[in-house]
Amino acid sequence: MALTAYDYATARLLDATGSVDLLLVGDSLAMTVLGHRDTLSVTMDEMAHHVKAVTRGAQRAVVVADMPFLSYGVDLAEGVRHAGRFIQECRAQAVKVEGASSPVVALIERLVSLGVPVVGHLGFTPQFIHALGGPRAQGRSVEAASRLREDAMRLQAAGAFALVLEMTPPPVARWIAARLTIPVIGIGSGAGCDGQILVIDDLLGRFPDFHPRFARQYAPLGEMTQDAARRFAADVAGGDFPDEQVEAYPLTSQEAADLAALLAAE
Ligand code: KIV
């Protein structure tokens, strides 16, 4: 099972469950953490900042760093250097790239030859949002499904060790997963994949902008956060916070006596 994580505390909590095999520092952080409308604006420096935090929090799970838009595919050497930064400086164990174009396939081959494990990502690929005309399910026609399966085979042949398959109708996803030997990790692609991944903010109900059809909310953290803030505000306004017996640092009797003497002398 896999989840996204973007910070140290979440990575520690998720890792300590022992149930999460893979933590993806997804470029979805552009939206969930940074408030952009899509994933396109997040930079290498911003990603690196969060990848470092997650790798500090994870002991057991494999941490995969998402290569941001245009950090790869433009120039092979630049893509290798950016992936290398995630591994060397940020201590991720693998990187993820979207698509199966020739430059991406060449990058996967080069990275794998250098010892950098790579996860592929097909189906709806958010970095292609404009080319795809929005967040739409992919592989719906026989031709599109066949192309998708060929792309998946190409990524596997290039050396990708796993494939994220997003928003692909379940029969097509099942057909692709059955053909591949590497694990297919589905997101919005039905139950026939080898594994599943969700964005942690969807799981916890704390992303307010939209709720993908395929995501299941397991905890209402958004509502709980607002409720906690309202209760705190009410306690402060009503003089119930802080409780000085518990939520403060008492003076010793000597310190209290010294202070009383000082006040009396004024
Ligand atoms: O960036 C991300 O969170 C992802 C998931 C949708 C798999 O790529």
pLDDT at 185: 98
pLDDT at 174: 98
Which atom number of ligand 1 is nearest to the Cα of residue 26? Answer: 1
pLDDT at 68: 98
Residue among 100, 98, 76 at smallest CA distance from 153: 100
Amino acid 211 reads H
Q: Is 98 in the pocket of ligand 1 (CB under 6 A)?
A: no
Taking CA atoms, 29 is separated from 75, 83, 193, 216, in Å, by 24, 18, 24, 18
Dist. CA 113 → ligand 1 center (Å): 25
pLDDT at 26: 98
Does residue 166 carry a catalytic annotation?
yes
Q: Is 32 in the pocket of ligand 1 (CB under 6 A)?
A: no
Q: What is the DSSP letter of 98?
A: E
For the chain, which ranges sit under pLDDT 50?
Answer: none
**Active-site choice (89, 166, 244, 255):** 166
Q: Is 66 in the pocket of ligand 1 (CB under 6 A)?
A: yes
pLDDT at 117: 98
Treating both helix axes as pointing N-terminal to C-terminal, what angle do 8-16 and 44-57 enclose, rounded to 10 degrees? 40
pLDDT at 214: 97
CA 52 to CA 202: how far, in whole Å?
22
**Residues 229-255 pLDDT 10s:** 999 999 999 999 999 999 999 999 999
Q: For strand 2-4 and strand 22-25, is the pairing parallel, antiparallel, or unpaired?
A: parallel
Q: List all residues 6 or more positions away from 26 whose beta carbon is below 8 Å from its beta carbon.
A: 4, 6, 39, 66, 96, 199
pLDDT at 225: 98
Dist. CA 76 → ligand 1 center (Å): 23
pLDDT at 39: 98
Q: Is 199 in the pocket of ligand 1 (CB under 6 A)?
A: yes
CA 164 to CA 195: how far, in whole Å?
9
Q: List all residues 6 or more positions away from 60 whose beta carbon is below 8 Å from its beta carbon.
A: 15, 18, 20
Pair of tokens at residue 135: 């967040």
Residue nearest to atom 5 of ligand 1 (CA): 26
